Amino acid sequence: MKSTLILAALASVATQAPAQTAPAPRAAADQIATKKGPLTVQPITHGSVVFTWNGKTIYVDPYGGAAAYAGLAAPDVILITDIHGDHLDPKTLAGLSVGKALMVVPQAVADKLPAEYKAQVRILRNGQRLDTLGMSVAAIPMYNLPEAPDAPHTKGRGNGYVLNLGGKKVYVSGDTEDIAEMRALKGIDVAFVCMNLPYTMDVQQAAQGVLAFKPGIVYPYHYRGQNGLSDVDGFKKTMNTANKKIDVRLRNWYPAAQ
């Protein structure tokens, strides 16, 4: 009788316990061939993506909570583009296994990172490059137009990144507009390009910039703005009309909103 009462009590507690919220399902990963094996592209959320290549894992702008990265390998390299909370997210970093990761960041981000990460930081300024773990990482400008000291993103503060992974050049725009440095890019195989007003650029501006540097593949990302999600279908339509050779890949970067 006593054991029956205990089991009944446990059942009662179990039914009253709050349900655990499962992380939103991620978009399916893509694989892109390189000279050193496949590059896996895993969209996470907003401006965050995870690359896996040649046994190494690269997190870009980890954001939105550690649960979004559940089941993925711990990072070997973390790239952070800017100081804003959707790029530099200390709470998410604290929930991830980042103790062995090299953190590649601009000076402004290094100045705001918690002290516990200082030994892991490598500062790159616009125009500088780092060769590590068989890959190269180059920092390029990202900023608003017209340039102004009170712009949300001033030139020189943040970094866009160009990675060379087994001969494939991957561009991550960060928060930028249709700047000359983006238009001047050469030989980009895969590009991740932002489009969200009023923080970066609109869809048409993004399309004109991409048409200028002609990547093989482009992923619209970072497309949630002040008034909701940008028209990425319209972006794809514009691109397909202007240059069908550019592969526009639409993925769901906002699974939690579904």
Instruction: Kindly list the structural domains of the chain, giving each domain's residue range(s) and its CATH number in brackets, ordered by start.
Output: 27-249 (3.60.15.10)
Report pLDDT for 252.
95
Of 178, 172, 224, 221, the residue nearest 198 (C-alpha):
224
Upstream peptide bond of 90 is cis (omega within 30 degrees of 0): no
The pLDDT tens digits for 240-258 are 999 999 999 999 999 876 5
Residue 71 burial (C-beta neighbours within 10 Å; 0-12, 13-18, 19+): exposed
Of 245, 182, 237, 195, the residue nearest 217 (C-alpha):
245
Rounded mean pLDDT of the chain?
A: 92
The pLDDT tens digits for 6-58 are 444 434 434 443 444 456 689 999 999 999 999 999 999 999 999 999 999 99
DSSP-derived 3-state class of residue 77:
strand
Mean pLDDT of 163-186: 98
**Displacement of CA 44 from its chain's centroid (Å):** 7
136 pLDDT higher than 80? yes
236 pLDDT higher than 50? yes
Mean pLDDT of 132-158: 95
Dist CA 138 CA 140 (whole Å) = 7
Report pLDDT for 3.
45
Report pLDDT for 185.
99
Residue appearing with tokens 């910039």: 209
